[in-house]
Amino acid sequence: MTVSLHLDLGLMLLLLLACWQTPGMVGGTVPAPPVNVSVTQLRAHSAMVTWNVPQGDTVIGYAISQQRQDGLMQRSIREVNTSSRWCVLWDLDEDTHYSVQVQSVGPHGDSPPSRAVHFRTLERTDHYPAGVLDHRECS
Amino acid sequence: MTVSLHLDLGLMLLLLLACWQTPGMVGGTVPAPPVNVSVTQLRAHSAMVTWNVPQGDTVIGYAISQQRQDGLMQRSIREVNTSSRWCVLWDLDEDTHYSVQVQSVGPHGDSPPSRAVHFRTLERTDHYPAGVLDHRECS
């Protein structure tokens, strides 16, 4: 059975294309997952997520995945060229269970996700009026 | 020149894989881009983006791309299973130029991006103290 060189080249190109399109198969190592992932400033319709990055890794950004526990509404946030270790979650439903996971973005790919943090938003009557958006203590 | 059936099957599988991994090659139509994209509640470190979706399209979410005009810091936000037509942009730098574009997410793919909206955050001294996170007028 003869195999043509032309087809072999085509196969190799397609294999290269498939590998190139598959995240995680490029060279280099990815950072470790974020640690100390916490939900702070919990309110009826918003919360803030903070985390730390283990020393030693080069981290150029983060990716956050937020889910309602009932499966409705998924949100993902990705930011690069940033040193931020916090993120605001807005437009949440009151008295509702959510979970959030954070990944570090490195030059060669994303870290595995952090452990999932579960939280429940406050009831409307529990919220307090001060704004958080212009607070910069956490950045 | 004989070509083996085995290789042909391999080629077809790889071609299918390449197509499957390429967004936009699935069937169905995508929604029209969002309209009336506006930046409101502009402050030193935050802003709110609002938009409308043209009638007639099935829209299940949105995707936002935010950039500093100097190229530093890119943020993308994606939310599905939502009817929200607004989004908070947090942790902005004061007195800085940004641009933002919005896409509608449909069952068969994302719309083209809206026109880019450019804005400049306020100087720190211009900011006013009321919070926006628990305001729900725009949802």
Q: With beta carbons under 8 A apart, name residues in chain B contacting A86.
A: 91
Site of tokens 């450019």? B118
More confident residue, B24 or A121: A121
The 8-class DSSP code of residue A130 comes to B
**Percent of chain B whose predicted confidence (pLDDT) is above 90:** 64
pTM attached to this predicted model: 0.72
**Three-state SS at B8:** helix
Chain B residues with CB within 8 Å of chain A CB? 1-4, 7, 10-11, 14-15, 17-18, 21-22, 43-46, 72-82, 84, 86-88, 90-91, 127, 129-134, 136, 139
Tell me what ipTM this predicted complex has: 0.71
Counting one residue from A and one from B, how many pairs have CB atoms under 8 Å apart? Answer: 116
Q: Sort B26 into a burial class: Cβ within 10 Å, 0-12 / 13-18 / 19+.
A: exposed
CA distance B63 to B59: 11
Residue of A nearest to B81 (CA): A73
Query: pLDDT band at B19, cuts 50/70/90?
Result: very low
Domains and CATH numbers, chain B: 29-126 (2.60.40.10)
User: Could you give the percent of chain B with pLDDT greater than 70?
Assistant: 71
Which pLDDT score is estimated for B29? 92
Query: What local confidence, expressed as pLDDT, does residue B61 receive?
Result: 97
Query: Radius of gyration over alpha carbons of chain B, in Å?
Result: 21
**Length of chain B, in residues:** 139
pLDDT tens digits for range B29-85: 999 999 999 999 999 999 999 999 999 999 999 999 999 988 889 999 999 999 999
Measure the CA–CA gap between A89 and A137, rounded to whole angstroms. Answer: 16
What 3-state DSSP class applies to A20? helix
Residue A17: how many other CB atoms lie within 10 Å: 16
Between A115 and B18, the more confident residue is: A115
Amino acid at B124: R
**Which of A128-132, B81-85, B124-128 has the lowest average pLDDT?**
A128-132
**Predicted pLDDT of residue A105:** 97
What pLDDT is stored for residue B139 in this prediction? 34
pLDDT at B71: 82
With beta carbons under 8 A apart, name residues in chain B contacting A79. 73-76
Chain B residues whose beta carbon lies within 8 Å of the beta carbon of residue A46? 133-134
* DSSP secondary structure of B22-34: STT-SSSPPPPPP
> Bigger pLDDT: A42 or B72?
A42
Query: What is the rounded distance in angstroms from the CA atom of residue B112 to the CA atom of residue B105?
Result: 10
Chain A hits for B44, CB-CB cut-off 8 Å, are 134
The DSSP code for A125 is: G
* A6-20 pLDDT tens trace: 556 555 555 555 545
Nearest to B74 among A81, A129, A132 (CB): A81
How confident is residue A124, by pLDDT bands cut at 50, 70 and 90? confident
Q: For residue B40, which amino acid is it?
A: T
Q: Residue A68, class by beta-carbon neighbours within 10 Å (0-12 exposed, 13-18 middle, 19+ buried)? A: middle
pLDDT digits (tens, 9 = 90+) for A53-112: 999 999 999 999 999 988 889 999 999 999 999 999 999 999 999 999 999 999 999 999
**Interacting residues of B83 by C-beta distance below 8 A, sequence separation 6+:** none
pLDDT at A125: 73
Whole-number pLDDT of residue A48: 96
